[in-house]
Structure formats: C-alpha cells, structure tokens
Amino acid sequence: MTKRSLFHGVIAAWAVTGGLVLLVIVGATALNAAGFLADMIAGLWGGDVAGLSGYEDGVSMLAGVAGLAMFPYCQLHHGHAAVDVFMDKAPRWANRLVTLFSGLVVTAIALWMAYMLVLGTLETRSDNVETAVLGWPVWIFMPTAVISCLLWALAALMETFAPEMPHGA
C-alpha cells in the first residue's frame, strides 16, 4: 500500500465518519420533529409531549464535526468550486499555474484554520465553556475540526503536487 492510497483511505474513512455523524443529526432532528407533532396532537386533549432535551446543543456541536469532516474528501475528488468554464480554453501552462496557486491558497487557508482552531480549543477549554442545556464541554468537539483541516491541507497538497492521472492517460 502506497502512502497516497493510505492517505486516500484515511480521508475517505474520515468523510464516512462525518456522514455517520450527519445521520445522527438527521435522526435526532426527525425524532425531535416527531416530538413536536406528538405534542401538538397531545395538546388537543390537554396532554404534553416533551421534545429532545438539549437537541440544539447536540446539533450545533455535531454539525461542525460532520461538515468539516467532508472537506478533505471533496478536495481529493474535485468536489469544490472551480473555474473550469474559463480554464477549459486556457493553455496548459495557465491551467497548471491556476492549479498550483489555488492549491497553495487552499492549503494555507486549511492550515491557518487548523492553527486558529487549536488556539480556540485551548481557550475554550481554559474558559470551561459548556453548551447551554446539556452542559457538555465545547472544547471536546473542536479537535475533530483541527484534524479535518489538517487532512484538508494534505488533500490540497496531494492534488496540487501529485494529481492523479485520469484513467486512460
């Protein structure tokens, strides 16, 4: 197994993990919505059905985890904004220059985000910031964002300096 395929596997597994977290969010949202419907129906007879306690806490923490986990995979599979419409007619050297420049910019942004997230994690931990309802420590969710940003930077570097050859080339 090459390093490249190992990194591809890690990035794919990270994205699948983000997808599973997203499924948890969707399930909790569906359950909470069903609770609101049940409360509305029960209210017709004077009853009461509570929603999921801390739903907003969980979703707000997990949404960042799920979303950022998919960025590296999207980068590897060109699932990002591109200027193909303009670059299709450009000479090969111009395409390579734009690819190099944009890859370096994305790498720098992802590394800067990772750095700032590390600082934010340390500050959030030292300030003992907790979610409003469940009282979960916020900082424990933040290292996953750091990992996502580092994998995103790795994916950008891989695609900038060692792009995969198209099949049949």
Instruction: Give per-residue pLDDT as tens, 118-154.
Output: 999 999 999 999 999 999 999 999 999 999 999 999 9
pLDDT band at 169 (very low <50, low <70, confident <90, very high): very low
Whether residue 168 is contained in a domain is answered as no
Question: Which residues form the domain of 70?
Answer: 3-161
Closest CA to 104 of 146, 148, 156: 156
* Token code pair at residue 17: 């993990």
Whether residue 29 is contained in a domain is answered as yes
Tokens 């960042």 sit on residue: 64
- For 29, 33, 41, 67, the CA distances from 51, given in Å and listed in that order, are 10, 8, 13, 25
pLDDT band at 166 (very low <50, low <70, confident <90, very high): very low
Whether residue 126 is contained in a domain is answered as yes
CA distance linking residue 106 with residue 114, whole number of Å:
12
80 SS3 class: coil
> Average per-residue pLDDT in the chain?
90
pLDDT at residue 17 tops 50: yes
Whether residue 52 is contained in a domain is answered as yes
pLDDT band at 50 (very low <50, low <70, confident <90, very high): confident
Whether residue 55 is contained in a domain is answered as yes
Domain count, the chain: 1
Whether residue 169 is contained in a domain is answered as no
The pLDDT assigned to 168 comes to 37
Whether residue 82 is contained in a domain is answered as yes
The reported pTM is 0.86
Whether residue 45 is contained in a domain is answered as yes
The model's pLDDT over 87-117, given as tens digits with 9 standing for 90+, comes to: 778 888 988 898 899 899 999 999 999 999 9
